[in-house]
Structure 1
Amino acid sequence: MECIIFMGIQATGKSTFYKERYVDTHLRLNMDMLKTRYREKLLLQALLESKQPFVVDNTNPLPEDRFTYIEEAKKHRFSVVGFYFEPDYAESIRRNAQRSGKSVVREIGIQSVMKKLTVPSFAEGFDELYRVRSTNGTFTVEEITNEGS
């Protein structure tokens, strides 16, 4: 049982990464689709109680944004894996410009998340952490080692 938490500014490729690596094995918890925290909470509880692996595909810039997912996952004996999408502001702006309709994020929104984005740590409760970089549509993943090891 695995809870994966994505962290990063908008338009860094988080949803694409999910589709490439986890669409067949993990359900996706995403505020863009669910629209309200109430719906998100209901789905999160259903995923935890049914022991269904899932990915939290939101920006999750601050430790307090990640806390509830980690706490609930641990209570239900899930391992918690974090993927930190290293920000490339210029590339995110470029990618966002290629979007259309409601998927376009206002630049001020990207700037706001960029200012808050905090690199995750094992002290938050992660069992594994990875840094993701996207270059020319290719993802590079490197493990972040525990500070204490």
Structure 2
Amino acid sequence: MSGAGPEVVVLVGLQASGKSTFFRQRFAGTHVHISKDLMRNGSRKEARQHALLTTTLARGASLVVDNTNASAAERQRIIAVARDFGARVTGYWFPPDLPVLLARNAARTGRARVPDVALFATLARLEEPGVEEGFDRLFVVHTLPGEDFACRAAG
């Protein structure tokens, strides 16, 4: 797809993998941040995310969906909305490194820290994304020391 029009960025990875930091470093100035973690009320988060996706894309704005997006089915719902608006879809896959993620999660405080069981539950349903899901571009991201990242094209 061409560079014109909005872009939908889908971040895929376990909790504590650096997705939100990656958003702040790479996209905060250019893309709307959509995250279920920012939705205070626990009910209907999927419906509210869908509404945010459609209203943001209707304005012609680019956005980042910053959730675990663990399954192909979850990502497919996002990609379908993006396609309805003619948006480019870029995925960033954060492969799990469980010892690192557990340590990063343990260092978190307040609402940012999730129970370790949540990491294991997400890991159990985590599916590596592939371009065949409908991504125009897909990158693999590795977290480096000092909250830096290394990206490479998937494949």
Where do 5+ consecutive residues of structure 1 fail to align? none
Query: 2:8 and 2:116 mapped to 1: Cα distance?
Result: 30
Deviations 1:87-118 (A, max 9, x none): 11111111111111111111010001112111
Aligned to 1:139: 149
Aligned to 1:110: 119
Aligned to 1:43: 52
Aligned to 1:20: 25
Where do 5+ consecutive residues of structure 2 fail to align? 1-5
The number of residues matched between the two structures is 145
What displacement does 1:31 show?
Answer: 0.3
Query: 2:32 and 2:91 mapped to 1: Cα distance?
Result: 16
What displacement does 1:70 show?
Answer: 0.2
Query: 2:55 and 2:49 mapped to 1: Cα distance?
Result: 10
- Asked if residue 85 in structure 1 is aligned to residue 102 in structure 2, the reply is no
Taking structure 1 as the reference length, what is the TM-score of the superposition? 0.93
What displacement does 1:41 show?
Answer: 2.1
What amino acid is aligned across from residue 79 of structure 1 in structure 2? R
- Asked if residue 126 in structure 1 is aligned to residue 135 in structure 2, the reply is yes
Deviations 1:8-66 (A, max 9, x none): 00000000000000000000110001242232222111111111100000001110010
What amino acid is aligned across from residue 60 of structure 2 in structure 1? K
What amino acid is aligned across from residue 10 of structure 1 in structure 2? Q
Give me the CA root mean square deviation.
1.0
Query: 1:12 and 1:26 mapped to 2: Cα distance?
Result: 20
Taking structure 2 as the reference length, what is the TM-score of the superposition? 0.90
What amino acid is aligned across from residue 78 of structure 2 in structure 1? Y
Query: 1:94 and 1:40 mapped to 2: Cα distance?
Result: 29
Alignment of 1:64-75 (within 5 A): 64-75=73-84
Query: 2:93 and 2:64 mapped to 1: Cα distance?
Result: 13
What amino acid is aligned across from residue 116 of structure 1 in structure 2? R
- Asked if residue 29 in structure 1 is aligned to residue 34 in structure 2, the reply is yes
